[in-house]
Structure 1
Amino acid sequence: MTLTAILVEDEYLAREELKYLIGKYSDIEIKAEFGDGLEALQYLQLHTVDVAFLDINLPSINGMVLAKSLYNFKTPPKLIFTTAYKEHAADAFEIEAFDYILKPFTENRVKKSLDKLGVDSLTESGPITNKESLNLYLGDRIRMVDVSDIIFAAANGKTTDVQTIHGLFTSPLMLSDLIEKYEQGNFFKAHRSYWVNLDKIEEIIPWASATYRLKMHNSDTLIPVSRSNIKAFRQRLAL
């Protein structure tokens, strides 16, 4: 089934460019276009679409307020923010935005987001299902990374360093919040400051007081397994 979308962007040229790129790289059907946040909200109260492309600086109500309103809908659309302001990214992650594209648009960046939507597209038997991925920082850039590609995550104050098979990134979430949002599969909190992918362990090294250090894939960092977590760790790995 073809995905449906709305565009919420008050800059005509930006809206036309985004519409062109969507048409070039996907078969998404654009059901409506708005330059005003309130008009978009009124439309979505009566109509259901799969995706909403949202600017943040909008008349009436801004894109972030609109997104938070949609989050409470029974069947909310996936939200893809399109904005020139990277400082809103952390707020976008908090409301589980599907993606966050910075202006000025590049074809490759928009295509990547559309490709991701294609993987998560509708099936004949039901609605969109979310691919388990998260958005991470690398400087000013934002990269979408599958959760299964995480090697380990390490607390770093109010943010988290995330080592992946693609390199080292930063999440604006604290480690505890990251674990709560993305806990799945074969992950384990080895230490209060470390969350590891058990599938990415290369070596388990015996350490003092009957504990371990973990040598992880593609990393020289040795991850400690705290004494309080040893029993659970052994049970998980049948040691």
Structure 2
Amino acid sequence: MEIVASFDDGMDVLKYLQHHEVDAIFLDINIPSLDGVLLAQNISKFAHRPFIVFITAWKEHAVEAFELEAFDYILKPYQESRIIGMLQKLEAAYQQQTSQPAANHENRDATTINLIKDERIIVTDINDIYYAEAHEKMTFVYTRRESYVMPMNITEFCSRLPESHFFRCHRSYVVNLSKIREIEPWFNNTYILRLRDLDFQVPVSRSKVKEFRQLMRL
């Protein structure tokens, strides 16, 4: 990994990126002339969109960074191990992106997704997600060991998931098909889905039964 440029002014960063392509950019929030969030909004519109990492003392902008699909959001003061871990994930994401000639931003999102935990953005393998549940305008996302609260409704969250792996089985639930351990018949010809490794049952609503049967070849 090589540092090709460093700037103290947001407008200087934007001018540089208009003429140079970079693979990753590290931003603070408090930047003269153009703050980090506005700068990231402009960068996200570029045809060649670099990975964006925020390193800042301003924890209240983590949700905005997530909405801009930042790769990571690191709070100061930080530990060296946190930076090393981020760089390792960044290198892996870059290698995956460049190993597939047709890969673009959408392809990248097909294997990983950004989740929010304690005002940090966690780059998560899509297949680590077991299910998600709607809570009003928020979505709770569950992996084997962690839970995350996403600032969006479940319909918007589902749009970020690959349809080949996830199924909207209920108005309030989406499930990872590869995590289903048992399909149990329920009342009114519906089903309850028992998941691997988790003591939780996900319902299949009546309106989704036909589609679910076809999908699972029942």
The CA distance in 2 between the partners of 1:184 and 1:103, in whole Å, is 37
Q: Partner of 1:178: helix, strand, or coil?
A: helix
In structure 2, what residue type is equivalent to 1:121? Y
Q: How does 1:157-172 map to 2 (within 5 A)?
A: 157-172=136-151
Which residue pairs with 2:209 in the alignment?
230
Q: How far off its partner does 1:147 sit? A: 1.0
Aligned 8 A contact 2:62 2:119 in 1: no
Q: How far off its partner does 1:126 sit? A: 4.5
Aligned 8 A contact 1:188 1:197 in 2: yes
Which residue pairs with 2:30 in the alignment?
57
Which residue pairs with 2:59 in the alignment?
86
Structure 1 residues 185, 112: CA separation in 2 closer, same or farther (over 3 Å shift)?
Answer: farther
Is the deviation greater in 224-233 or in 123-132? 123-132
Matched, 1:151 2:124: no
- Tell me the alpha carbon deviations over residues 169-215 of structure 1, each in whole angstroms, 9 at most, x when there is no partner: 22223211111122343210000110000110111111110000111
Q: How far off its partner does 1:86 sit? A: 2.4
In structure 1, what residue type is equivalent to 2:142? Q
Q: Partner of 1:68: helix, strand, or coil?
A: helix
Which residue pairs with 1:32 in the alignment?
5
TM-score by length of 2: 0.89
Matched, 1:136 2:115: yes
Is the deviation greater in 179-188 or in 56-65? 179-188
Alignment RMSD:
1.9
Which residue pairs with 1:183 in the alignment?
162
**Displacement over 6 Å in runs of 4+:** none
Aligned 8 A contact 2:133 2:139 in 1: yes
The CA distance in 2 between the partners of 1:173 and 1:125, in whole Å, is 30
Which residue pairs with 2:75 in the alignment?
102
Structure 1 residues 143, 76: CA separation in 2 closer, same or farther (over 3 Å shift)?
Answer: closer
Q: How far off its partner does 1:141 sit? A: 4.5
Aligned 8 A contact 2:54 2:70 in 1: yes
TM-score by length of 1: 0.82
Is the deviation greater in 163-172 or in 186-195? 163-172
The CA distance in 1 between the partners of 2:116 and 2:9, in whole Å, is 29
Q: Partner of 2:130: helix, strand, or coil?
A: strand
Query: How many pairs are equivalent?
Result: 212
- Tell me the alpha carbon deviations over residues 134-188 of structure 1, each in whole angstroms, 9 at most, x when there is no partner: 2323334543211111000001222211111232222223211111122343210
Q: Partner of 2:147: helix, strand, or coil?
A: strand
Aligned 8 A contact 2:167 2:176 in 1: yes
